[in-house]
Structure 1
Amino acid sequence: MKNKATINNSSIESAGIPKDYKESIAEYIWNGFDANATTVEVNFNYNDINSIEEIVISDNGYGIEFRNLDKTFGFFLDSLKRQSFQRSSYIKGKKGKGRYSFSTFANKAVWNTAYLKDEVILEYDIVIRKENKDVFEDINHVKSKRTHTGTNVILSGIYELDASHFYDDKFSNFLADEFGWFLFLNRDLGYDLKINGISVNYEHLIADNEKKEILIKDGNSDDHSFFITYIRWENRIGDKYYYYFLNDGKRECAKRLTSFNNNAIDFHHSVYIESSFFNNFEAENNISEIEDSLFFKNQNHPVFKTLITRLNGYLNSKQKEYVKGIGADELILKFEKHQVFPKFSNNKYDQDRKKDLVNVIKELYTVQPKIFKGLKEEQERTFVGFLNLLLDTDERENILGIIESITHLTTEEREELTDVLKRTSLSKITKTIKLLENRFKTVELLKILVYTLKKFTTEREHIQKIIEENYWLFGEQYHLVSSDQNFQVMLNNYLYLIDGIEDKKEIKDYDWKRRPDIFACRKRNIPDVMEDSSMLEENILVELKRPTVTLSKKEFRQVDDYLDFILKQDGFNSQKRIWKFYLVSNKVDDYILKQYEAFKDKGKRFLVQQAGRYEIFAMTWDDLFLTFEIKHQYLLDKLTFDKTSIQDILKSKGIQIESNEITSEIINLKE
């Protein structure tokens, strides 16, 4: 029997029928699932030249009851499914256009459908031809021999398509994108979609998933159970992200936008909530089907309100988990690829600074991803460079105020960010650790020189060069004036550093060519014991002896001669300048020990002479090293550097245990 639709053929053509064959096939597949099918199969046969004779989309749904035929095929832009399942997101055929989608690539469509009536399966065919789409014919009404209901949509007269269109990965990937969420949600019920007997694989679309149960008490009644299925998709699925509320039959009753639709990050997610609580949900009257959220009379129910609060908290934790992990890592990789980061050297200190910057960026991105979205590469470089500059100063906590001027932060986000900036304050810490670690290495290498290799170590070629770069051993406060230079150079350098005097002073004394090993000074406020309101200036001079030399009266007299010479010079002899002289070697003799005893009442260890504004100290290398370790013991204990591995480290770098090589290694250590 021929039947006429409520619209003519030309109107159907202009009504927005899918033009892409993939979308057309998807319409028929959705029709099957809409009819409660658990399995839908797409089968096609082709000949030797790859031409397709027909395409069959089969399902095991409830079929098309003949008594409803005029309500389904008879009405265009309307259907029985729309009336029955208004609130279901996956009722794709609710507008009634899908039945005509074959006409873009086939001449005829036949629905061979079997349905149950009075416990008997009946069967008949519905035929629509491309040239007369507004006419549908029902024929071949028989009692079916099938054992179950279902519909086979047979498309024939295929044109512009061949077998390659269906074996192409684009087709299977399209179906996976379109149906993956639905198949995953219903996987426990055995739902399946097949192409020529092979199930469509959608697992690669799911980046993460989790199932959990939420219990909520309704007054004095029993707890309501809500079974949550969270899915994070590898790529975007659909244009918005929803909570989907399903009854205990897994049919969607309503949906609601999640709170992460405008976060501008690739957090592609869906949350499905199944519960008998939704069995009796009722739709509000006059709700438009094009609204983003489908509301219902029960939305003000206390249990539902509690559920939404719990869901928001849960999804917020999943979003932060994603952003802090994968999302932040991807952002850093992008910045590396596009050379957004400032240039950092390969030394450990610079790499620690970079690590600090990366950590802060990750934490900022976790707290508020929008900060980094929508920026052009040049803007990214400017922003990241600006962050890097602030992190190297005492102003790092001002970052919070800057971020708040860019985007609104909630109280919770502000607290998190404040904690981040305090918790990741690494630049000063790592700089200090780097300095101490290198100083520790210097001391260990010096020990090798003055103990293990003492026979091969000299004052000027080894020890003097090292101390020149590391005079902090005698005090953090000093500035190096001269190293292994004569008194003429020493005086001019000294006057320029202390007083800014550039005029060169001439020394006519016959001793002007003598060369102290190290001369350092410091212009600092030292209380003058003679005058309460007056301050003094402090200078040190170090005389280094090779490790095989024992400090004796001879070495003491040498330093005492330096002292006499300095005090004779007009440019050195102000009464406001105090002087400290250090003698250093491996051992001291009895004369030096007696000098210790003679001046012990002054309360200064290693003192061997004191007169007016000058002091002379005699120390062993062991004294110097131990003093350093005592001063820094607490921080040294925090370091991971293994003192016993120093020689292994040198060998691994191809450095032989030899005085010249060790000297170079120490000099090359950078603070």
Structure 2
Amino acid sequence: MGNMAISGTADITHEGIKKHFTKWKKYPFQSVIELIANGFDSGATSVDVTIEHNEMHGLAAISVLDNGSGIDIKECDQHFSRFNESSKQGDDDLQGAHGKGRLAFHLLCSNATWYTKCHDSESKIFIDSLTLRNFSAKEISPKEQHAPLSLFKSGTCVVLTNFHTNLPELDVIRKNLESYFGWRLILNPERKLTVNGVEVDIPESDLIKKNICINGAEFKIDFIRWIDKPGDEKSYNYVVNHDGRVLHRDLSSFNKKPNFHLSSYSRSDWFDNFDKSSSSLNFTDTPQVSPDSTEFKKLKKAIHDFSSDIYEEFLREFVEEKIEEYEARGYFPEHKSLKAEEAAWRRENTKSFVKSLYLADPTIFNNIKEKPVKILLALIDKILVSNENDTIFEIIGEILNLDENQINIFSRQIKNSSLKNIVSTIEVLQKRELAVHKLREIMVKHYREVLETPDLQGIIESNTWLFGNKYTMLGAEEDDFQKISLNLRKHVKGIDLIDEGDLESTDLEEELDIDGVRRQVDLFLARKNIGFNSRGESYYQCTIIEIKRPAIALNEKHLKQIRDYARIISEHSGFSMEKMRFEIILVGRKISEKDFDIHSALETAVAKNCSGLIPSDT
């Protein structure tokens, strides 16, 4: 032993070799990944990477040890004299770079030495980065063999030395290896990869198992959805034997789905005689077991259907997470001027549509910045409640260039969304009807018993739309304005005094007394919101609502009080200095039958088409 020596030259120039690795220069650790892949490709069940540092924390050596088949020195020329081709060509179970990955070491260091055991021979192969096309190989004795490899029946240990480039941190290296080899490790549980003695984990993923029977043959399909893309591996549908080795693979039709990475692995006794190169012409009585067989075509369709279901479920979860993210970042319109229930309805309406939009085309919001997203969501929100809401479907259908199937799916989603909005609207209307019912119960049927008014106050404050649709937005309360307005009210003479004339009714003489009514409380609301005139100029719209006690019938005294209140407000310096418009609303259960002034004012307002009973110049 140790007397055979071989030297050779690759059939490509040194510069030609280096050009093949131009894209790899930013990722010198790829050279180690290629050596690991070569180990697994040689049938290894274990690959151990050891990274050694010197006292100055610089790289001293990297070794990649595997228990694969090793390299036969007699066939060394077939491995090292060829570039960009190898016996791996056409073998779907192999991951290395088909004959060139072994030379990637020059991106990281100057020297690479292969220690190998194959059958009864032990040998050593050496390549220098200055002459990449040349290699030298010789047989060695067991004493000269790399120590860890001595324990294996066969295998290879590649040792890299004389580094000119450093490696990333150990945690980063492990993450890279998880990503690149994770699918191989999960597919072959007996395979193991370690870095400095610590096993590389399988990256985060979801496993979905399916079983199917086709023409009497049982197929077990494992779908693995990777949270992050596994290295540079595309999504494939694999056929594997019971040992986990890949017999055949096809590209999945889901490769271009953003953030979606799905692999499928099909196992079956039916594959025991699988021949992927078999011709579609079969002149024997033996059932065809190949990609052209009926069973295999049905299997591919089943895999596609299962994959579609998994993708739709992923997409629903992805969309929900995206909507939550947009909401947390405050991208959706806030509707501060609307009542809480109406704002909630608008928000859900817009969110439902955006979900449908995402499901139709998940790429539509990809790489879009904050401001454009906010503008887009605001425009969608406005259009959905406008008279042009039907046109949004046409516009989006044209922009996204949806095919007929996508248009039908999008249409169904919009219809479902619209139905939800109708239901939500009905719920809002039902709540309004309930509010009116509760108010009617208090003001019409139970006003005799109303001595305290928290229920009435709550109903009025939560339902300002009762005074007209334009008052729907009175929910935003101004504490300062409320307090000042309430203080000014105290200056109105007799505004809280009750006399017998205020109780005038056909059926109350003995049922109500003045002392009882005095224990009731008048209600008072004051709100200030920004409004705009026809010229687009802003002003403060100030609304004051004076609600007399349910037992009181409105009369000329109350009208005079409101007139006095309007005068006091107009004279207040804090209000006169700002652009303000005031509305004072007087509310009561009924108008006194004996009153003349209010009835007269109402008739005058109708005749002159006035909006109020008290002129604005009063």
Name the TM-score, length of structure 1 as normaliser. Answer: 0.60
Structure 2 residue aligned with 1:3, among 4, 7, 19? 7
Please, which of 313, 329, 354 is the counterpart of residue 337 of structure 1? 329
Which residue of structure 2 lines up, in the alignment, with residue 559 of structure 1? Answer: 593
More divergent stretch after superposition (312-321 vs 271-280): 271-280
Which residue identity does 1:174 align to in structure 2?
Answer: N
* Equivalent residue number for residue 213 of structure 2: 215
Counterpart AA for 2:105? F
1:262 aligns with 2:256: yes
Name the stretch that deviates more: 50-59 or 238-247: 238-247
- Map 1:99-248 onto structure 2 (within 5 A): 99-116=102-119, 121-133=120-132, 134-140=134-140, 146-161=151-166, 165=167, 167-187=169-189, 190-204=190-204, 206=205, 208-217=206-215, 222-235=216-229, 237-238=231-232, 240-248=234-242
Tell me if the contact between 2:235 and 2:261 (Cα under 8 Å) persists in the aligned partners: yes
From 298, 302, 310, give the equivalent of 2:294.
Answer: 302
Q: CA, structure 1 residues 46+544, in 2 after alignment: closer, same or farther (shift >3 Å)?
A: closer
Amino acid of the residue matched to residue 36 of structure 2? I
Structure-2 separation of matches of 1:103 and 1:471: 82
Return the alpha-carbon distance in structure 2 between the equivalents of residues 13 and 452 of structure 1: 96
Secondary structure (helix, strand or coil) at the match of 2:318 reads: helix
Change in Cα spacing, 1:201 to 1:229, as seen in structure 2 (3 Å) is: same
Kept in 2, the 8 Å contact 1:328–1:366? The answer is no
- How far residue 25 of structure 1 moved from its aligned partner, in angstroms, is 0.6
Alignment partner of 1:12 is 2:14: no
Q: CA deviation at 1:440?
A: 5.3
Name the aligned partner's letter for residue 213 of structure 2: L
Instruction: Specify the alignment match of 2:95 in structure 1.
Output: 91
After superposition, the Cα gap between the structure-2 partners of 1:436 and 1:148, relative to the gap in structure 1 and judged at 3 Å, is farther
Deviation at 1:396, TM superposition (A): 4.8
Q: Equivalent of 1:317, from 304, 309, 321?
A: 309
8 A contact 1:397–1:422 mirrored in 2: no
Letter aligned with residue 101 of structure 2: G
Counterpart of 1:668 in structure 2 is none
2:47 to 40, 44, 56: 40
> Size of the alignment, in residue pairs?
470
Shift in alpha-carbon separation, 1:61–1:423, aligned structure 2, 3 A:
farther
Q: Given the superposition, is the C-alpha separation of residues 372 and 565 from structure 1 closer, same or farther in structure 2, using an over 3 Å criterion?
A: closer
**What displacement does 1:195 show?**
0.8
Report how far residue 350 of structure 1 moved: 0.4
SS of alignment partner, residue 250 of structure 1: coil
1:353 matched to 2:346? The reply is yes
How far is 1:31 from its partner?
0.6
In structure 2, do the counterparts of structure 1 residues 198 and 68 end up closer, same or farther at CA, with 3 Å as the change threshold?
same
**Letter of the 1:432 counterpart:** L
Q: Secondary structure at the match of 2:71?
A: coil
Looking at structure 1, the residues matched to 183 and 313 of structure 2 have their Cα atoms a distance apart, in angstroms, of 22
Contact 1:360–1:424 (8 Å) recurs in 2: no
- Selected match of 2:38 from 31, 38, 41: 31
RMSD: 4.4
Residue 37 of structure 1: CA displacement?
Answer: 1.0
1:579-634 alpha-carbon deviations (Å, 9 max, x no partner) = xxxxxxxxxxxxxxxxxxxxxxxxxxxxxxxxxxxxxxxxxxxxxxxxxxxxxxxx
> Is this contact kept in 1: 2:47–2:194, CA < 8 A?
yes
Q: Does 1:365 align with 2:354?
A: no
1:429 counterpart letter in structure 2: I
- Structure 1: 5+ residue stretches without partners: 286-295, 473-483, 485-512, 518-540, 546-554, 574-671
Cα offsets for 1:10-60 (capped at 9, x unmatched):
443444274433111111100101111111111133333223332211111
Q: Please give the TM-score of this superposition, normalised by the length of structure 2.
A: 0.65
Report the 3-state secondary structure (helix = DSSP H, G, I; strand = E; otherwise coil) of the residue aligned with 1:81.
coil
Q: What is the distance in 1 between the residues matched to 2:255 and 2:453? A: 73
Give the Cα separation in 1 of the matches to 2:325 and 2:368: 16
Change (3 A) 1:47 1:142: closer
- The yes-or-no answer on 1:424 pairing with 2:416 is no
Question: In structure 2, what is the Cα distance between the partners aligned to 1:115 and 1:462?
Answer: 89
Shift of 1:230: 2.4
Distance 1:353-1:50 versus aligned 2 partners, 3 A rule: same
Q: Quick check: which has more Rg, 1 or 2?
A: 1
- Which of 388, 392, 404 is the equivalent residue of 1:410? 404
Distance in structure 2 (CA, Å) of the matches to 1:106 and 1:463? 79
Among 225, 238, 246, the residue aligned to 1:252: 246
Q: Give SS of 2:88's match.
A: helix
Which residue type is aligned with residue 154 of structure 2? T
C-alpha distance in 2 between matches for 1:147 and 1:464: 87
Segment drifting more, 48-57 vs 271-280: 271-280
Gap change, CA 1:63 and 1:351, over 3 Å in 2:
same
